[in-house]
A and B are shown apart, each in its own frame.
Chain A
Amino acid sequence: VARLDELNLMQRAQQGDRPACAELVEHYWERLYRWLYHLSHDRHTAEDLTQETFLKAFGNLKSFKAGTNLQAWLFRIAHNSFLNQRRASRKARQTFPADVAAAAEGPAEEAMSREALQLLARAVGRLPTDFRAAFLLRVEENLSFREMADVLETTEETARWRVFKARQKLMEVLAPQLDKGKS
């Protein structure tokens, strides 16, 4: 049903139906923004890139073919926008997201200590961008390696390798902390 809904929405959007486009924005804005925020570490950049993603998508609706994975299509556009932006700004160095330290307390802290959660945010933020992009597509968007490869325009094996490396690094940093939290 979900696939049919998605197809139906895209068909309406392709016919210029603005409310259908608005529904797509409703469904995907936060998800794209979240991913782009994790990649860029900058709220305004993430906002701009999210908007750019939708503008590009709506400007290229005719190129979207039935059977295409809409989620992967949108995230691929977002990734290309991110890469272009990064090239343009030449911000090769990663900066730590300042907002994480000041994040509001939420239910997550109940399950993982505040210290561990902050460590997790820090560790994710310090992953190399390629690893982080693939890893987040896996854990937040539940994409397969094939779909990740599609988004990141790489091979399935490379996508798998990036997720592996991201997990390996996170485990190195976080496992001792999680063990400490349990004892």
Chain B
Amino acid sequence: VWAAQNDPQVLKAAIPGCESLHQEKDDCYSAVVVAKIGPVRAKFNGRATLSNIQAPERYTISGEGGGVAGLAKGAADVRPGEQGDRTMLHYAVRADVRGKLAQVGSRLLGSTAKKYANDFFAGFNDAVTGKAPVEAPAQPTLRAADDPKSSIRGD
């Protein structure tokens, strides 16, 4: 699982709407993703960096992407953990949006992120096991922030 989650091909297959993904350096990827958040559907050029890598314990993936529809910045702490014969991926996400994404998408950001996470892990599971997943292997813990003035945060 640790290897798979650093494999560009696996990631490209797993990321919903991913048109291309290149590993530029060991810890740096660039990608083109078509994403839809509420009424916004647009192409985003993004770059993701891995940091805080403590294989196979944890790492932090932080990314920044933008396009005509605005920008998003985010980071996720990912922690794989054994659970019987399965690997449970725990993650916590922080995201921050700019431009049209904030203007028309912020209300929907929490639910969209949740859906994307589900889709990603389902696809990831598929790529790793070579078969359709029976259940989403990780329960995302994203929620919309209660304070309307604050940005969207994950737990």
Instruction: Report if A and B associate in a common complex.
Output: no
